[in-house]
Structure 1
Amino acid sequence: MSQFLVLTAKPGSNVLDDNTLAHLPASLGKPNVLAAGEAVEFAVSSDPRAEVRASLAGLAVDVNFVPAASRRKKLLVADMESTMIENEMLDELAAEIGIGPQIAAITSRSMRGEIDFATSVKERVAMLKDLPLAIMDKCAAEIRDMAGAKTLIATLKKHGCHTVIATGGFTYFSEPVRQRLGFDEAHGNILELADGKLTGTIVEPVFDRASKEKTLRSVAARLGLDLSQTAGVGDGANDLDLLAAAGLGVAFHAKPVVAEAARFRVDHGDLTALLYLQGYSKAEFAA
């Protein structure tokens, strides 16, 4: 069965113009243009990525080799922070109370896979004991959606895909993000609250790396889907199991350890690149 070589670039960059396409190997044949200057695909029988990357000579283009079978996914499980939204909420909460560097250092080590996530999140939350919910709400109001997030979810839902947030962050933030972006479900860590403040603890069990993969598998089973019909997207080390299990596991602007391990990666484009990987053209995007 044919595979697809998919080339994507940042929206509006026009990197994949006629001149760039003319320098690609002639053996690829004629491209199917998914979005002018932004995304093209080629039906291929073997993997030409090495030759294509050489032809692109360092241009800001993502090169992915995608199986044709079950290409349009029926389930997406997505990380939230630095994936569906630009923010890292724990870091922003910490900055509000002047312990940003201490929290950020733990976050970075966790995302790089240097320390256990469950331990790190408990340590960071403990440092936020007695944080007023007013500060939580202030940070929630400053959440910025990742470029392409709304279009990605609206388009997938338009075409019958079930969408789920699976975050090592907090349901206090993931629920409003779920509602705003239109996700069907959101799963994450529950913060203990008392008297209008954080208690410094998380309701057990911690929603961690293994929980993300478990969510993918359990939701797929509930919907009667094979894992080949699923997609996952994330940027950090605690997304690795999710990305490995999903039929289309995409490392999105990811940490180096994640980008190297993932079968599919988007380093330059926005989240609409996940639609191009599934063969959607820009004309099919939801408004």
Structure 2
Amino acid sequence: MIPNTLLTYLDNLPKWPAVPVSIAADGQITQQAIRHSSTDTTIIGWSKNESDIKQLVANLYQEHECWRIYPAMSILATHIFVLTTPIAEPLVKERIERANLDFDIVAMTHIPNLNQPGMLVMDMDSTTIQVECIDEIAKLAGVGEQVSAVTARAMRGELDFSQSLRSRVALLKDAPVAILDDVKDNLPLMPGVQVLLSHLQVNGWKVILASGGFTYFAKALQQRLGFDAVFANELGLKDGVLTGEVVGDIVDAQYKVNVLKRMCQQFQIEPTQTMAIGDGANDLAMLSESSLGVALHAKPIVQQQAKIAINYSNLEGLLFVLMGGVIRDHVACHH
């Protein structure tokens, strides 16, 4: 369901004049009529601070360049803006990022359509939830520093994921199973995840969890958030303690890609209607395989390769991205 405030925004969008903006030497902002072209780059951005958007308008103007910036609106306590320009996408992003303001942006080119069947595949640790479960288990087992150091290196892509996972789990040998419940009962959700998933589900999207973490927690989140399917690693348990082993196949980068492909077939989802979210090196292949790969507060290597990097907002920001497809179509139809 698209919020009524956004529908009103879209309905009014064609009525606005070609708005921007030319800034004279004396600082006066004047409006210029600009013809819209289907080859224009269209950007949607969002920020918690309206002043950042005003500052962006002031920073974007350069001689001989035309920017059409639509009036910002507020939704979910976030200010959204749309701009179009004949400038190529890489230059647009470079120019905006140079402004050094706290907002996230995405070019509305290959965005899935929120109003058509789609699928989200997302990571669990530091993506769906705010913590790394294995680090939380390790703290309670008394080996926190050793495990978290390996986790950090694996997330940066410095270690083979499968090998690093087995070495970390081995350090948990003989830890009591009861500590898993302590972690499970205190999993902090990533801000915005409930809003994002509920909107996707209302629109008929499938939501999948594919995690290099553990089924013990993934299944609990499935009950809590309504994932259609979850894929994660199985911890070895025996006589009330952890065996220090991973049972069965490890959910590594290729496994996540296979999940995305297999779920597309199972749910009959077009590949162009897929989105993936992750934060670590183990997510890169999945992000690349999806139509829209999103790096969420991610490691530098992931941000560099993902189609979108969210650094300032939370998961609600992805709603604006998907709604951006609707905005894009309205802009194209009315100009």
TM-score normalised per structure 1: 0.89
Q: Which residue of 2 aligns with 1:115?
A: 159
1:29 aligns with 2:29: no
Q: Which residue of 2 aligns with 1:284?
A: none
Distance in 2 between residues matched to 1:168 and 1:231, nearest whole Å: 18
Q: Which residue of 2 aligns with 1:14?
A: 50
For residue 109 of structure 2, the aligned residue among 61, 67, 83 is: 67
1:174 aligns with 2:218: yes
Q: Tell me if the contact between 1:15 and 1:38 (Cα under 8 Å) persists in the aligned partners.
A: no
Question: How far did 1:240 drift?
Answer: 0.2
Determine helix, strand or coil for the equivalent of 2:200. helix
Question: 18-27 or 72-81: which moved more?
Answer: 18-27
Q: Tell me if the contact between 1:233 and 1:250 (Cα under 8 Å) persists in the aligned partners.
A: yes
The one-character-per-residue Cα deviations of 1:79-129 (angstroms, maximum 9, x if unpaired) are 011011001011111111221111011101111111111111111111111
Q: Tell me if the contact between 1:49 and 1:64 (Cα under 8 Å) persists in the aligned partners.
A: no
1:135 aligns with 2:171: no
Q: Which residue of 2 aligns with 1:274?
A: 318
Amino acid at match of 2:253: R
CA RMSD of aligned residues (A): 2.2
Q: Which residue of 1 aligns with 2:266?
A: 222
Distance in 2 between residues matched to 1:121 and 1:204, nearest whole Å: 13
Q: Which residue of 2 aligns with 1:47?
A: 88
For residue 79 of structure 2, the aligned residue among 7, 27, 38 is: 38
The runs of 5 or more residues in structure 2 that have no matched partner are 1-37, 326-335
Q: Are the structure 2 counterparts of residues 190 and 15 from structure 1 closer, same or farther at C-alpha, using a change threshold of 3 Å?
A: farther
Q: Are the structure 2 counterparts of residues 203 and 5 from structure 1 closer, same or farther at C-alpha, using a change threshold of 3 Å?
A: same
Amino acid at match of 1:14: E
Distance in 2 between residues matched to 1:51 and 1:69, nearest whole Å: 17
TM-score normalised per structure 2: 0.77
Question: 158-167 or 30-39: which moved more?
Answer: 30-39
Using the aligned pairs only, state the percent identity.
33
The one-character-per-residue Cα deviations of 1:21-76 (angstroms, maximum 9, x if unpaired) are 45444723142645365222235565345346535621111222131564336000
Distance in 1 between residues matched to 2:235 and 2:304, nearest whole Å: 33
Amino acid at match of 2:176: P
Determine helix, strand or coil for the equivalent of 1:240. helix
Q: Are the structure 2 counterparts of residues 32 and 173 from structure 1 closer, same or farther at C-alpha, using a change threshold of 3 Å?
A: farther
Q: Number of matched residues?
A: 279
1:199 aligns with 2:243: yes
Q: Tell me if the contact between 1:34 and 1:41 (Cα under 8 Å) persists in the aligned partners.
A: no
Amino acid at match of 2:50: N
Amino acid at match of 2:82: E
Q: Tell me if the contact between 1:132 and 1:198 (Cα under 8 Å) persists in the aligned partners.
A: yes
The one-character-per-residue Cα deviations of 1:209-230 (angstroms, maximum 9, x if unpaired) are 1111110111011122221110
Determine helix, strand or coil for the equivalent of 1:91. helix
Q: Are the structure 2 counterparts of residues 195 and 14 from structure 1 closer, same or farther at C-alpha, using a change threshold of 3 Å?
A: farther
